[in-house]
Amino acid sequence: MKHLIVNILGGRDVGKTTIAMHAVAELRWMGISTSLNYGASKLWTDEPSIVTMNVLWRDPSTMSTHELVEMCRDTLTFLVRRSKDYVTPIGLHPSITSGRLAIDEQLENRMREGRVRYKSLPSVRASVPYIVKKICEGVGYDR
């Protein structure tokens, strides 16, 4: 099997880490050595790993299109999307929610602008099997 780097991107509190952790658990259960990184922190690691999964969040206004393109070069990249019917969590001001939705949109626009190869997925548990399937194809694992 070949080594594969997977990037999971999305806005703040969209569910990136939850989806990534479920996918890593599935891959490990299948016997695929996988490490999970959140930014610079290694959360769950196997050395050497076949799959390196990076959970990334940065405010798109602090990142150039070129930087985003370079970060996603030669990787399998997924953008986790906030649901359109996203409800403001209790205790959060509605303007924070609208700001988060705007940042989500800005991130996707930046990815399109840079022609980053990515797949946009909803922030739901059902996205995990798709991610696992694509990773298995990428590393040459045949169930």
3 state SS of 42 = strand
For the residues 23-36, what does the mean pLDDT come to?
A: 94
Ordered DSSP codes for 89-117? PTTS-HHHHHHHHHHHHHHHHHHHHTT--
Query: Sign of torsion, CA 135 26 69 2?
Result: negative
- Place 128 in a pLDDT band, splitting at 50, 70 and 90: very high
Residues in Cβ contact with 97 at an 8 Å cutoff, skipping those fewer than 6 apart: 86, 88
In this predicted structure, the answer to whether residue 87 has a pLDDT above a threshold of 90 is no
Residue-wise pLDDT tens digits, 38-86: 876 666 666 778 999 999 887 888 888 999 999 999 999 999 988 766 6
For the residues 87-100, what does the mean pLDDT come to?
A: 72
What's the predicted TM-score (pTM) here? Answer: 0.86
How many percent of the chain have pLDDT more than 70?
A: 89
Q: Which tokens is 95 given?
A: 């303007």
| CATH topology (fold) of 4-139 | Rossmann fold (3.40.50)
Average pLDDT, whole number, for the chain? 87
Residue 118 to residues 40, 66, 113, 134, Cα–Cα distance (Å): 22, 15, 12, 12
